Amino acid sequence: MAGLEIISDQGYRIDGRRSSELRKVCARMGVFTQADGSAYIEQGNTKALATVYGPHEVRKGRGKIQHDRAVVNCQFSMATFSTGERKSRPKGDRRSQEMSMHLRQTFEAVIVTELFPRSQIDIYVQILQADGGNYCACVNAATLAVIDAGIPMKDYVCACTAGFIQDSPLLDISYVEESAGAPFLTVAMMPKSEQIVLLEMNSRLHADNMEKVLDLATQGCKDVFAVLDRHVRDHVSESHALMTAS
Amino acid sequence: MKEVPMSTCEREFILKAIRDRKRIDGRQTYDYRRLKVSFGMERGCCIVDLGDTKVLAQVSGKIEEPKKNRPTEGSIIINLELSPMASPAFEPGRPTESGIEMNRILERNIRDSRAVDTESLCIVAGEKVWSIRADVHVLNDEGNIMDAASIAAITALSHFRRPDVSVMGEEVTVHSPEDRDPVPLSVHHMPVCVTFAFFDQGEFLLVDPNRSEERVMDGRMVVGMNMHREICTLMMSGGMLLVKEQVLRCSQIATVKVAEIIELIQRALDKDAQARQAGEKCGFAESVPTNKITTNRKEATAIDTTAAAQQASQVIQEAGPVDKPMSNMLVQAPGTVQIGEGLVNTWDVDDEDMESEEKEGREKSVTNGREAVATSKPTERKRPVKAGEGTVSHAEGSDSEEEETVMLFQGDDETKSTEEPDSTALMQPSNSDKPAKKKGKKKKAAQK
Amino acid sequence: MQRYYSVGSNMAATDETSALLRSFECEQNLLSRPDGSANVRQGDTSVLAAVYGPGEVKMSEEIIDKATLKVIFKPKIGLPGCAEKLQERLLRNTCESVVLAVLHPRSGVNIVLQVIQDSGSLLSCCINAACMALVDSAVPMKCLVSAVTCAVMEEGRIVLDPDSKQEKESSAVLTFAFDSRENNVVTCSTKGCYTPEKYQECLSACGAASRNISSFFRQAVERRMSKEL
């Protein structure tokens, strides 16, 4: 995009971040009482809400029952007011179907589904405000919700984007940077073992730069993990304190 | 129809072979199956054979209004069709999850990486642009549809020629191929997908998995890359975990494979271009061996049909003369025609009943316009007494026949209709404007 | 090479008294997945057909005393619409009259047709391809079915197996499918205006041509069975 400087001469980005800096992450767990698990996350201006139901018996479509593990059902939607132009179709279009599928694949790999044969776990995620990195916000919110629901996972799963603009890798791409047409990589990984659960890339990136971008994204995931972990610990000690107090 | 499930022992066998670094079809780890690209008669049509996997792609273009936010760019639509021909598991209609995923990968690989210049597809900014559509049909699924589809799509796009267009002021002319040579799309680079299959939690990796390998694999990674070693799309998902080194290794392997594939595509394109230049016959038919026992061919044959005309007239004669169509058609008013005799009612039905029924039917058909005439006329003849005034009035040259007949029975039916609420209830919603007209007519008749 | 010759009353157009079918090619068993497949090429027109079955059928589509035949017609460009549905219906009716569906109750036979190239006489090519695919899949059949398209030109001349240009110029296009045993009409699909005399003339001309195609089918099957597998 002509005329738009993504990185200033001083090395700062449009929103004042440095190239390897995350946006501010705010999170809350247990935002709903009805759901088995829920969480809300803000990553900069991207806001996502996740709820988890289950494990429960398989509803609609008995054919989906797996005898050796639980099935994970994910649904992604975007609030009609989440984007600059009002969205007419909050879910069901190809992009959200793809997103739902990616979320399902991510969590199928991470949740210890073998513990709940013949059952189902539902994860519903909604984007309340979209400002780049929707998938990441969804994954991070859903991770917290799954933890809140007390469903065992192999590890946290954290997601982060990394782009490659003006010959330098950038962490946690915002919407403006996303729409500049530069390549960016979305990674979901288990931060402790550095195992990649999902990897996706758009636009063109030279194979030689791949490693740099991937390294940065890995670092980003670890940073996200640090934040999420702190939130989980705070939340648990808080609720523990509440319980002992009563 | 469902896919036949895979037996546990077959699964174990394939996995064991892979652990022994062998593949069941005798290939090496990084080998592709035989790749064949052939072109159809039309421009922008190609079939890609990857082993037994077969994919057909057809590119077409039409002129459309551009999107509001991109007034100077044409559009590229890629549609991957998992035809039920390819596998019994593919159902016609709504695309499946995996179908959507593959379609998105194709779109990202070709459209989002700007492989085809969309700005050159603009004819009149904000008004007319070319919309290029690539339909990719999977004809036979023997594994790795993704690679075959991506090769087919980009090859078909490179092979396609759109009609030349010239703009003279406000006027846009689309030139026929005879008039001006069609123009190729400007393809900047050719991205091709390479699929890797992973087994045993990423410990073993294979290139170009066939169907049975696909069924036992943990997950796959698709790397879309072009000649310049630029990664155009990268997709890894599906219940397996990888580390960074594996991803980087895959991208290196992809570099080699992509170079091979693109060279083959180029060669095929060049060969086809030469053949077309030389005016040779091209098309799929030319690339099919005809000496197999499963093929049979006959040259154009003449069929002796001398007897056809004779036979035809014979049949016609035997059948006897066809009932002549009604010759006594009466044109009462422009746009109307009347047939039928209006014979005496032979049905054993009470006249009174008939009347109310007819009225109902007629009232409804009046709204249909012309058809009304045919139904209403016979009754007119049937009751010559009542018809008296009607016939007089249309002999006078009334403007509309149907309104006339409606009026006919108005006199004595009006009392009836109050007795039978059913019929009136039915007619009211359909023609609200009728009563007024009828009254007007009635006045006219009264004057006479 | 002259492509077509005239038939019938308007003999003055050319001196020939015969009509020409375009070259006819058929390849069977070219796809590995389906139970039967065939590619039939009539001149430049090419249709690929695949047959799955008899196999499992959806509960809602199950017929108690015979097999359910389903035809899926895939156009080359765009998504199938109304016209394709009509085509499917025609093809299904044609196939239903020759397939011995009663031998496979409560099962399904799917026939999928993919247009590879449309250069006229598409419907007849589809029927021929479906027939050859059914033969290849070894679904029991009463007899073969062969179809011929003819076009009635403006001046009344009849052209057998027209290409798309001829179809466009014609005043009517008629397609007939015949069974191979009695040469009875199985399907008849027409478009445009013609007199009953012309209809009869087309019918007998196509009947003659269909015998030629039937014998070609027979020959193809004989050729296939000439070697022990």
- Give contacts of B312 with chain C, Cβ < 8 Å: 8, 197-198, 200-201, 203-204
Name the residue type at position C56.
Answer: E
Touching chains A and C? (3+ Cβ pairs < 8 A)? no
Of B431-445, C94-108, C187-201, least confident by mean pLDDT is B431-445
List of E strands, chain A: 25-29, 37-43, 46-57, 71-78, 119-129, 158-165, 168-171, 184-190, 195-202, 205-206
- Identify whether the C-beta of residue B44 lies closer than 8 Å to the C-beta of residue B59: yes
Tell me: the pLDDT tens digits for C134-145?
A: 999 999 999 999
Alpha-carbon gap, residue A106 to A102, rounded angstroms: 6
Return the H-helix or E-strand segment holding B52.
Answer: none
Q: Which of B45, B300, B304 is opposite residue C22, by nearest beta carbon?
A: B300
Judged by a CB distance cut-off of 8 A, whether residue C14 touches chain B is no
The CA distance from C142 to the nearest CA of chain B, in Å, is 22
Residue of B nearest to C229 (CA): B293
pLDDT higher at B112 or A3: B112
| Beta-ladder partners of C185 | C178
- Look at the alpha carbons of B51, C33, B221, B231 in this order and tell me if their dihedral is positive or negative: positive
pLDDT at C137: 93
State the average pLDDT over residues A19-42: 92
pLDDT at A204: 86
Percent of chain C with pLDDT over 90: 67
State the average pLDDT over residues C104-128: 93
Inter-chain residue contact A193 with B237, CB threshold 8 Å: no
Judged by a CB distance cut-off of 8 A, whether residue B218 touches chain A is no
Q: Which of A105, A202, A205 is opposite residue B237, by nearest beta carbon?
A: A105
Residue A51 has pLDDT above 80, yes or no: yes
pLDDT at A137: 95
Task: Give which of B46, B138, B298 to mutate to test C binding, by max C Cβ within 10 Å.
Answer: B298
Q: Which of B295, B303, B316 is opposite residue C209, by nearest beta carbon?
A: B303
Radius of gyration in angstroms for the set of CA atoms belonging to chain C, rounded to a whole number: 18
State the average pLDDT over residues B400-415: 44
Alpha-carbon gap, residue B192 to B105, rounded angstroms: 11
State the average pLDDT over residues A59-84: 86
Inter-chain residue contact C20 with B312, CB threshold 8 Å: no
Judged by a CB distance cut-off of 8 A, whether residue C215 touches chain B is no
Tell me: the pLDDT tens digits for A5-22?
A: 778 888 888 888 888 889
Which domains are delineated in chain C? 3-228 (3.30.230.70)
- Identify whether the C-beta of residue C131 lies closer than 8 Å to the C-beta of residue C210: no
**Matching residue, tokens 């009259």:** C97
Inter-chain residue contact A94 with B103, CB threshold 8 Å: yes
Size of interface A-B (CB pairs under 8 A): 95
Size of interface B-C (CB pairs under 8 A): 189
Cβ burial of A147 (10 Å; 0-12, 13-18, 19+) is buried
What are chain A's partners, defined as 3 or more CB pairs within 8 angstroms? B
pLDDT at B344: 63
pLDDT higher at B293 or A83: A83
Alpha-carbon gap, residue C203 to C174, rounded angstroms: 9
Residue B69 has pLDDT above 50, yes or no: yes
Alpha-carbon gap, residue B81 to B149, rounded angstroms: 10
Inter-chain residue contact B237 with A199, CB threshold 8 Å: yes
Inter-chain residue contact B234 with A208, CB threshold 8 Å: no
Q: Which of B101, B104, B113 is opposite residue A204, by nearest beta carbon?
A: B113
How does C136-174 read in b/e, with b if 16+ C-beta sit within 10 Å? bbebebebbbbbbbbbbbeebbbbbbbbeebbeebebbb
Alpha-carbon gap, residue B124 to B66, rounded angstroms: 9
Percent of chain C with pLDDT over 70: 91
Residue B392 has pLDDT above 90, yes or no: no
Residue C113 has pLDDT above 80, yes or no: yes
pLDDT higher at B214 or B320: B214
pLDDT at C64: 93
State the average pLDDT over residues C58-84: 91
pLDDT at A16: 86
Residue A139 has pLDDT above 60, yes or no: yes
Residues 106-165 of chain C whose Cβ lies under 8 A from any Cβ of chain B: 108, 110, 112, 114, 116-117, 119, 158, 160
- Give contacts of C41 with chain B, Cβ < 8 Å: 285
The CA distance from B59 to the nearest CA of chain C, in Å, is 8
Inter-chain residue contact B247 with A207, CB threshold 8 Å: no
Touching chains A and B? (3+ Cβ pairs < 8 A)? yes
Tell me: the pLDDT tens digits for B93-143?
A: 778 888 988 999 999 899 988 899 999 999 998 889 999 999 999 999 999
Q: Which of A94, A105, A185 is opposite residue B239, by nearest beta carbon?
A: A105
Residue B416 has pLDDT above 50, yes or no: no
Alpha-carbon gap, residue B194 to B196, rounded angstroms: 7
Inter-chain residue contact A207 with B244, CB threshold 8 Å: no
Residue C18 has pLDDT above 80, yes or no: no
Residue B206 pLDDT level (bands cut at 50, 70, 90)? very high
Q: Which of B232, B233, B244 is opposite residue A214, by nearest beta carbon?
A: B244
Q: Which of C7, C24, C44 is opposite residue B308, by nearest beta carbon?
A: C7
Tell me: the pLDDT tens digits for C34-70?
A: 999 999 999 889 999 999 989 989 899 999 999 999 9
| Beta-ladder partners of A129 | A47
Inter-chain residue contact A197 with B241, CB threshold 8 Å: yes
- Give contacts of B230 with chain A, Cβ < 8 Å: 204-207
Alpha-carbon gap, residue C185 to C147, rounded angstroms: 9
pLDDT at B389: 45
Alpha-carbon gap, residue B157 to B422, rounded angstroms: 65
Residue of C nearest to B137 (CA): C76
Q: Return the half-sphere exposure (C-beta side, CA atoms, 13 A cut-off) of residue A42.
A: 5
Alpha-carbon gap, residue C80 to C78, rounded angstroms: 7
**Encoded tokens for B113:** 């990486």
- Identify whether the C-beta of residue A125 lies closer than 8 Å to the C-beta of residue A34: no
pLDDT at A219: 93
- Give contacts of B156 with chain C, Cβ < 8 Å: none
- Give contacts of B243 with chain A, Cβ < 8 Å: 193-196
- Identify whether the C-beta of residue C185 lies closer than 8 Å to the C-beta of residue C210: no
Judged by a CB distance cut-off of 8 A, whether residue A74 touches chain B is no
- Give contacts of A200 with chain B, Cβ < 8 Å: 234-237
Name the residue type at position B164.
Answer: D
**Residue C135 Cα distances to B1, C28, C212, angstroms:** 20, 9, 18
Residue B245 has pLDDT above 60, yes or no: yes
pLDDT at B200: 87
Which domains are delineated in chain A? 25-239 (3.30.230.70)
Touching chains C and B? (3+ Cβ pairs < 8 A)? yes
The CA distance from B190 to the nearest CA of chain C, in Å, is 23
- Identify whether the C-beta of residue B97 lies closer than 8 Å to the C-beta of residue B237: no
**Encoded tokens for B245:** 């080194």
Inter-chain residue contact B305 with C117, CB threshold 8 Å: no
pLDDT at B438: 47
Inter-chain residue contact B288 with C27, CB threshold 8 Å: yes
State the average pLDDT over residues B73-89: 92
Q: What residues have CB less than 8 Å from B247, skipping those under 6 apart?
A: A196, A199, A210, A214, B221, B234, B236
- Give contacts of C5 with chain B, Cβ < 8 Å: 302
Residue B442 has pLDDT above 90, yes or no: no
Percent of chain A with pLDDT over 90: 55
- Identify whether the C-beta of residue B387 lies closer than 8 Å to the C-beta of residue B381: yes
Cβ burial of C206 (10 Å; 0-12, 13-18, 19+) is buried
How does C39-61 read in b/e, with b if 16+ C-beta sit within 10 Å? bbbbbbbbbbbbbbbbbebeeee
Residues 54-113 of chain B whose Cβ lies under 8 A from any Cβ of chain A: 97, 100-101, 103-104, 108, 112-113
Inter-chain residue contact B56 with C116, CB threshold 8 Å: yes
What is the three-state SS of B332-343?
A: CCCCCCECCCCC
Q: Which of B81, B284, B293 is opposite residue C223, by nearest beta carbon?
A: B293
Of A84-93, B349-358, C124-133, least confident by mean pLDDT is B349-358
Inter-chain residue contact C201 with B2, CB threshold 8 Å: no
To the nearest whole number, what is the mean pLDDT of chain B?
A: 78
Among candidates B133, B161, B130, which has minimal Cα distance to B63? B130
Tell me: the pLDDT tens digits for A170-221?
A: 899 898 888 887 888 999 999 998 889 999 888 888 888 888 999 999 999 9
**Encoded tokens for C208:** 């003659």
Name the residue type at position B219.
Answer: G
pLDDT at C227: 78
pLDDT higher at C1 or B187: B187
The CA distance from A102 to the nearest CA of chain B, in Å, is 7
Q: Specify the DSSP class assigned to residue A7.
A: B
**Encoded tokens for A127:** 């984007």
Q: Which of B41, B83, B309 is opposite residue C117, by nearest beta carbon?
A: B41
Q: What residues have CB less than 8 Å from C168, skipping those under 6 apart?
A: none
pLDDT at B349: 64
The CA distance from C129 to the nearest CA of chain B, in Å, is 13
DSSP B252-307: HHHHHHHHHHHHHHHHHHHHHHHHHHTT---SGGGGS-S-STTEEEE--EEEE-HH
How does B411-429 read in b/e, with b if 16+ C-beta sit within 10 Å? eebeeebeeeeebbeebee
Q: Which of C23, C77, C200 is opposite residue B58, by nearest beta carbon?
A: C77
